[in-house]
Homo-oligomer: A and B are copies of this chain.
Amino acid sequence: MKLSQSFTKTTKTAPADEASRSAKYLLRAGYIYKEMAGVYDYLPLGMRTLEKIIQIIREEMNAIGSEELRLTALQPKDVWEATDRWSDDVMDVWFKTKLNAGGELGLAPTHEEPLTHVMKSYISSYKDLPVYAYQFQTKFRNELRAKSGIMRTREFMMKDLYSFSKNREEHDVFYEKCADSYKKIFNRLGIGNDTFRTFASGGAFSKYSDEFQTLCEVGEDIIYLDREKGIAVNEEVYNDEVLADLGLDKSKLEQCKAAEVGNIFTLGYRFSDALDLCYNDEDGKRQKVFMGSYGIGPSRVMGVIAEKLSDDKGLIWPEEIAPYKYYIVGIGEKGEEMAAKLHDMAPEDIILDDRKNARTGEKFADAELMGIPYRVVISDKTLADNKVELKNRKTDETKLLTLDEFTSKLA
């Protein structure tokens, strides 16, 4: 991508009402644009990072045998009345609207009801089970307070997977498989070392639910972490009984602030019961389907990563989700020529800062603010040795590579 041809620009200041560092940097670097509190557009750089996060999650969801679909935001009230979640008193984050043709609709804050309803058309026998289906879909939640930039918003991208199993045993196997898959995802996203499976409150069908919590100073949760075992307990269930149940030693636990980046719930018969989703077992007996739900918010994860991995100069993206891997600055006529040549070899990997009206110092500062993993400088001096200078955004380490060494790294 040539910076001279991209419409966004970096800015020195962010809106005064943005408190979180991630939001300030994402706004200043041109990744997002604030429509209003809790509602953000994704500009070209932001779209690329968001899509890369989505693609990683998609690959791992496909790898555990689940199928992608897309449900609608607009929801009729009948299925939600059947589960008693239509009322604003029960579900306080609904956006409701009216159909010109008559009737009230809601904007789905989650999708247990509609997907359970879809499955009534496709599940009738034990032979049809299990079913694992997921989507990347825009959720709407009428939060009273939006917070922390893209970490808690009113319109956001969500990956939600739902499992439909014959019984609890079948459910439990998939539940653990998905938990393992989540670990892989957070590793690939570059926050694996600081993300912990965390026991949180369960429901009628399970003592606990599982959250994936990333250590983060602006996180909304308090967790108690056993680093050695790599598991944690959410403050909401932190008591002696639970610690004993989980075999955790209070003296070994650290109290930490954390941001929830994923969660897994055992839904049991909560929705299949209310919506009558049943199957005939091998003996021809009618049984209820046992369900689970598995969420990750790609836009929220993007906010958490931006928050956690940034420094006082700007964002620092892990390579797998950076919008581009290299930020190339050519200095001098020959340097600029070679920079353009390298860019054209791999425009999907490279931001070419070919702006005429920006000084080299400004270009370097923008490379840092945008958080591109490697800054590449090509000048008459480096070219004299047939080399380019590579600087690692994260470690600040600088090294010289020959042009051949560098081009062999390009996709």
Which residues of A come within 8 Å of B, CB atoms?
A: 5-9, 11, 33, 35-37, 39-44, 46-47, 50, 65, 67-76, 92-93, 95-101, 105, 107, 114, 118-119, 121-123, 127-128, 131, 133, 138, 140, 142-145, 154-155, 357
Contact = CB atoms under 8 A, between A and B. Distances in A.
Copies of the protein in its oligomer: 2
B114 A35 contact: yes
Nearest to A92: B100
Nearest to A44: B67
Contacts of A46: 69
A165 to B, nearest CB: 13
Contacts of A72: 35, 39-41, 155
22 contacts: A6-B67, A8-B122, A33-B118, A35-B75, A36-B74, A36-B76, A37-B101, A44-B68, A44-B69, A47-B68, A47-B69, A73-B138, A74-B95, A74-B155, A95-B97, A96-B98, A99-B142, A101-B143, A101-B144, A101-B145, A127-B357, A138-B138
A51 to B, nearest CB: 9
Contacts of A95: 74, 97-98, 105
Given A68-B47, A118-B33, A140 B41 contact: no
A67 B5 CA distance: 9
Contact of A155 (B67, B73, B101, B119): B73
A73 to B, nearest CB: 6
Contact of A154 (B42, B47, B65, B74): B74
Nearest to A48: B68
A64 to B, nearest CB: 12
A138 to B, nearest CB: 6
A101 B154 CA distance: 11
B65 A5 contact: yes
Given A35-B114, A39-B74, A67 B143 contact: no
A97 B97 contact: yes
Contacts of A96: 97-98
* Most chain B CB within a 10 A radius of its CB, from A6, A7, A44: A7
Nearest to A99: B142
A74 B7 contact: no
A143 B102 CA distance: 11
A42 B70 contact: yes
Contact of A122 (B9, B93, B140, B155): B9
Contact of A33 (B33, B36, B121): B121
A138 B92 CA distance: 24
A74 B35 contact: yes
Contact of A69 (B35, B41, B65, B123): B41
Nearest to A9: B122
Contact of A100 (B71, B118, B133, B142): B142
A95 B6 CA distance: 33
A397 B50 CA distance: 44
A95 B107 CA distance: 11
A330 to B, nearest CB: 19
Contacts of A39: 72, 74
A123 B9 CA distance: 9
Given A7-B122, A47-B70, 9 more contacts: A33-B118, A36-B74, A36-B76, A41-B69, A43-B69, A46-B69, A73-B155, A107-B107, A127-B357
A133 to B, nearest CB: 7
A119 B7 contact: yes
